Structure 1
Amino acid sequence: MTENAAKRMKMEGGGVKIGTHNGHFHADEALAVYMLRLLPTYAGSSLVRTRDPALLQTCHTVVDVGGEYDASANRYDHHQRTFTTTFPGRPTKLSSAGLVFMHFGKSIIAQHISQPEDSDEVGVLWNKLYESFIEALDAHDNGISAYDPAGISSAGLEKRFSDGGFTLGAMVGRLNPNWNDPTPSDPVEAQAAEDSKFLLASARIGEEFARDLEYYAKAWLPARTIVQDAWAKRTQYDPEGRIMVLEGQAVPWKDHLYTLEEQEGAKDGKKVLYVLYPEKPVPDAKWRIQAVPVTKDSFQSRKALPEPWRGARDAQLDEVSGVPGGVFIHASGFIGGNKTFDGAKEMAAKACAF
C-alpha cells in the first residue's frame, strides 16, 4: 500500500509537469524522464503519459512525443521526418534520451561533481557518457545497428550463439506488460498500472546511468592524470615508448592511452605495446605486464606476449623467458606476471624484441 501510494505521488507529484507518451514504453524516454528529475527544476515533477495534444500542451517539458523539437519550448521529440540532429562529433541520430542529455547533461554532471558547466572535467565526462552509454540507446530507438548489416552479410558472418538480447533497450522493454497480462477494465486503473511499470523502468535504466556517471566521475576521470604522467615517462623504459608503467597502482588506462596516442599522432612503431602495473598498491606487490589490445574491447593484442611463454608458470616460465621471478603468462599471451618490477620490465623489453 505504501509503495503504491509513493508511486502515485511521484506520478501526480507537484511542481512542473513532464509529458511523454503512454502505451509501450522504451529505454529512451524512460531515461530522459529520469535524467530530468535529477535537476532542481524537475525535482518533485509530475509525469503525464498521454498522446493527447491538449494534455501535452499543459506540460512544462515534453519528451518522445508531440512531433516537435524546440529546446526553447522544452519540446524534445525525434520522430518527425525532418529530424536529423546528432550529438556533437557523433554520427548517430538522437532519441529523446540523447536530446535531453545533449541539452541537460552538462548540468547533471556539473551538479554531480560540483564543477562549473564550462569546466574541462564536465566537458570530458559529457562526451564520454554519451559515447559509452547514451548513444547505444539513441541507436536502439532509431533502429541503427552497431555494425553495418550489408557489411556483415557480404562478409558471410553468422552469430555463433545467442547473447540473450540483453541490451539496455531490451532491459527496459522486458518491463512492459506482456500481451496476455490481465488488464483492469477501468481505463484509469489500466493507465495507472501501466504508468507504475514505466516508473519502474525509468528507475531501472536510471540506476545504470547513475552507476556509469559515478564510475566515470570518481574512477575513470581521476585516472586520466595518472595515465598522462605514465605516458610522458614511457621513453624511460623503452626508447621507442612501447612500455608504459603505472607506478602506484592499476587504474582504468585503455581509453586514456588511446586518446593520448591519437592526440599525439603516434605511429604504429611508437605505440605502447605493454603496460606494467603492481597487483596491489603496496611496496612488495607482484607486477603485471599486460599487452595493449588493438581496441578497447578487443581480445586481440597489438603484440601478445611471446608464444613460447604462454601457459608457463613459475620455474618453467623463468626457464623459457630467461627472466627470474616469473609468475605466469596467460595461455592467450595477453597478460602475465612477475614477482618484481625489474622482472616485469625485463619481460616487457624481451617481448618487444621477440
Structure 2
Amino acid sequence: MTIDQTSPHTKRQKTEMKIGTHSGTFHADEALAVFMLKLLPKYKDSAVVRSRTPDVLEACDVIVDVQGQYDGVKHFDHHQRDFSETFSPSFKTKLSSAGLIYKHFGKEVISSQLDMKHDDSKLGILYEKIYSAMIEAIDGNDNGQSAYPDDIEPAYSTSSITLPGMVAALNPAWNETYDDAYLDSQFEKASKLMGGVFVDLVKYYANAWLPARDLVKAAIENSKQYDDEGRIVVFDQFVTWKGHLFELEEELKIKGQIYYVIYSDGKGWRVQAVPVDPHSFKSRKPLPEPWRGVRDQALSDLTGIEGGVFIHASGFIGGNQTRAGALLMAQKALTF
C-alpha cells in the first residue's frame, strides 16, 4: 500500500519536532532541560527521543546532554573536555545541560509562563534571579562542584531530599528488571518533577519576590526623609525585605548605608538593626547598649520616647506601640 505523502497525518509526522537526549540512567539536569524546552511553543508537542545512537540523535531538532557538542543552536552538551561555559562572567559555576538551555532560552521560557513581554525590564531581573536561586545548584551538582569547601564535613546526609537525589531515586534499582519503555516513563516522571518545581519557582519570583523588591527599592529611595544620610528605611506594610535590601544596596551603590529598618508587626511597630550580611547575627549598628533588655514604661522613661515596648538583649531589634515612636527610637539610636 502506498502512503499518501500529502495527507494531514503524513504532514504531521514529517513536521513533528524532536528533542534528543541520552538513554539509560538519567539526571536532574537533562530532566529539567527537556521540560524547559517543552514549555516553549516551538517544542511544546515535541517527541522526546532518548538514545545513544548518533544518527538517531542527529535527526532530532535539538539535542541536550549528549553528543559532545555545544553550539547554542542545536547541540547543548557540557561533557566536552574543554567545556567551561558559565551563565555570565558574574558566575563561576560551570553549566550543565539545564544551565545551557536556560542560558539560551530562559527569558523566552519565563515570558511564556508569565505572559511577559520580551522587552520588559523585569524579565532580565527574573532571568538572573531564577538562575542563581535554582538552576546554578543543578549545574553545580551535575558537574561535581560543591557549594562548600572540601574540608567541611556535613553533619548529616541530604542526598535523598535534594532534587537531584529525588531524580536519581526514580532510576531503576541495580537489581530491578526493566525495559527501555519503563526507563523512558521514569524519565518523564523525573522531568515533570523538576519542571513542576521550576514553574512554581518562576511564579513565586514573579508574583511575590518581584513585587517585594519594588517595595523595598521604593522605601530605600524615600529613606532620606527620615535621615539625611538615608540610614533608616520605613515600610508602611510588612514585606520580606532582608535579601532585597542587600542586593539593592549593591545595585544602588550604597552598600552598608542602611542601619535600621522599621515595619509593623501587626500590633505595634518594630525597629530592626540591619545585619552585616544576610546570614549574620551581628548588626551593623545594634540598638544602644543602655536600652537593651529594658521594657515598657521603663524603656519609655529611659529613652524619653513614649510607647516603648522592648529592646532585645542583643540590641538587634526593638518595639514601640506607634510608627512615630519607632521612628524616633531609630533616629535617636543613630546618635549613640
TM-score w.r.t. the length of structure 1 is 0.80
Which runs of structure 1 show a deviation greater than 6 angstroms over 4 or more consecutive aligned residues? none
For residues 349 and 206 of structure 1, what CA distance do their matches in structure 2 show? 48
Instruction: Work out which of the residue numbers 159, 162, 171 in structure 1 matches 2:156.
Output: 162
- What is residue 270 of structure 2 aligned with on the other side? 288
Residues 44, 227 of structure 1: CA spacing in aligned structure 2 closer, same or farther, 3 A cutoff? same
Residues 130, 325 of structure 1: CA spacing in aligned structure 2 closer, same or farther, 3 A cutoff? same
Contact 1:289 1:348 in 2 (8 A): yes
How far is the alpha carbon of 1:231 from its aligned partner?
0.9
How far is the alpha carbon of 1:133 from its aligned partner?
1.3
Does residue 1:78 correspond to 2:78, yes or no? yes
For residues 279 and 182 of structure 2, what CA distance do their matches in structure 1 show? 40
- What is residue 8 of structure 2 aligned with on the other side? none
- What is residue 349 of structure 1 aligned with on the other side? 331
For residues 15 and 330 of structure 1, what CA distance do their matches in structure 2 show? 65
How do 1:38-53 and structure 2 match up within 5 A? 38-53=39-54
For residues 197 and 304 of structure 1, what CA distance do their matches in structure 2 show? 53
Residues 305, 64 of structure 1: CA spacing in aligned structure 2 closer, same or farther, 3 A cutoff? farther
Instruction: Work out which of the residue numbers 313, 317, 340 in structure 1 matches 2:322.
Output: 340
Residues 96, 346 of structure 1: CA spacing in aligned structure 2 closer, same or farther, 3 A cutoff? same
Residues 174, 291 of structure 1: CA spacing in aligned structure 2 closer, same or farther, 3 A cutoff? farther
Q: Which amino acid aligns with 2:330?
A: A
Residues 92, 267 of structure 1: CA spacing in aligned structure 2 closer, same or farther, 3 A cutoff? closer
How do 1:47-196 and structure 2 match up within 5 A? 47-72=48-73, 74-89=74-89, 90-149=91-150, 153=151, 158-159=153-154, 161-162=155-156, 164-165=158-159, 166-180=161-175, 182-184=176-178, 190-196=179-185
Residues 66, 310 of structure 1: CA spacing in aligned structure 2 closer, same or farther, 3 A cutoff? farther
Q: Which amino acid aligns with 1:250?
A: F
- What is residue 10 of structure 2 aligned with on the other side? none
SS of alignment partner, residue 285 of structure 2: coil
For residues 180 and 218 of structure 2, what CA distance do their matches in structure 1 show? 56
SS of alignment partner, residue 39 of structure 1: coil
How far is the alpha carbon of 1:120 from its aligned partner?
0.9
- What is residue 35 of structure 2 aligned with on the other side? 34
How far is the alpha carbon of 1:63 from its aligned partner?
0.8
Contact 1:15 1:43 in 2 (8 A): no
Q: Which amino acid aligns with 1:348?
A: A
How do 1:243-282 and structure 2 match up within 5 A? 243-247=232-236, 249-266=237-254, 268=256, 271-280=257-266
Does residue 1:198 correspond to 2:191, yes or no? no
Q: Deviations over 1:300-341 (max 9, x none)?
A: 433344566566665565567664434455565544433211
For residues 249 and 270 of structure 2, what CA distance do their matches in structure 1 show? 22
Q: Which amino acid aligns with 1:291?
A: A
- What is residue 214 of structure 2 aligned with on the other side? 225
- What is residue 6 of structure 1 aligned with on the other side? none
- How many residue pairs were aligned? 321
For residues 205 and 319 of structure 1, what CA distance do their matches in structure 2 show? 57
For residues 48 and 213 of structure 1, what CA distance do their matches in structure 2 show? 27
Contact 1:50 1:56 in 2 (8 A): yes
Contact 2:246 2:255 in 1 (8 A): no
Residues 21, 298 of structure 1: CA spacing in aligned structure 2 closer, same or farther, 3 A cutoff? farther
For residues 175 and 331 of structure 1, what CA distance do their matches in structure 2 show? 49
For residues 253 and 209 of structure 1, what CA distance do their matches in structure 2 show? 23
Q: Bigger shift: 170-179 or 77-86?
A: 170-179
- What is residue 187 of structure 1 aligned with on the other side? none
Q: Which amino acid aligns with 1:344?
A: A
Structure 1 residue ranges without an equivalent (≥5): 1-11, 185-189
Query: What is the Cα-based RMSD across aligned positions, in Å?
Result: 2.7
Rg: which structure is higher? 2
How far is the alpha carbon of 1:179 from its aligned partner?
2.7
Determine which structure has the larger helix proportion and give its number: 1
Contact 1:313 1:326 in 2 (8 A): yes
Structure 2 residue ranges without an equivalent (≥5): 1-12
